[in-house]
Amino acid sequence: MPPNKLGGDIAGVILAGGRGSRLGGGDKGLVDVAGRPMISHVIDRFAPQVSTLSINANRNAARYLEFGYAVVADTLGNFAGPLAGIAAALQHCACTYLAIAPCDSPFLPSDLVVRLATALENAPTGISVAMSGARLQPVFALISTTLLVSLTDYLAGGSRKISPWYRQQNMVEVDFGVDESPFANINSPDDLAAASAKLRVQ
């Protein structure tokens, strides 16, 4: 993991706990992309950026354990969304900060975590979130573990949307430029074919 000035190690979690409804309801992290499970491409890019890694998954736990990392399930049922996965990971996090990335982002920036960490060095908040093309990329973020109580209360109140909670914490937005392709996720068969073709020539 690259050095940072936040005064503690950074854990990472890959969010793979969704329904995958836009890809036919399959377990998105295990879908084949260029001959390998989708999540394995994310691991290749994300794992070197953090001290420890876990996977948030709500099905096929044994399959995900084969990748060699701890698997954490949501404590909320019915596929409650990315915040539920983040909360579960924060509950198990032994580091000071938790970096998050989705399982369907095989081209995520190799400097994602260090740039998110740099943005928090002198910030009066515990969350930094990536932006690209003037759009917030809410599932690419760095979160202080001190915010677990706030997130737990937010979820207990029935809220599930990620961006309003970030705004409540006065998040820092980190601009990664106009190119949104590093944050592209795979939501359709066409996306899957395009990502496979790109990965095969890398």
Question: For residue range 3-34, what is the model confidence (pLDDT) as tens digits?
Answer: 566 656 999 999 997 765 566 667 899 999 99
Sign of the alpha-carbon dihedral angle for 138, 141, 146, 148:
positive
Sign of the alpha-carbon dihedral angle for 97, 88, 164, 106:
positive
Packing angle, helices 148-156 and 82-91, rounded to 10: 140
| Domain range annotation of the chain | 10-200
CATH number for 10-200: choose from 3.30.70.100, 3.60.15.10, 3.90.550.10, 3.40.50.11900. Answer: 3.90.550.10
Question: For residue range 89-127, what is the model confidence (pLDDT) as tens digits?
Answer: 999 999 999 999 999 999 999 999 999 999 999 888 899
Distance CA 154, CA 148 (A): 10
pTM for the whole structure: 0.92
Is residue 81 a contact partner of residue 162, using CB atoms and an 8 Å limit? yes
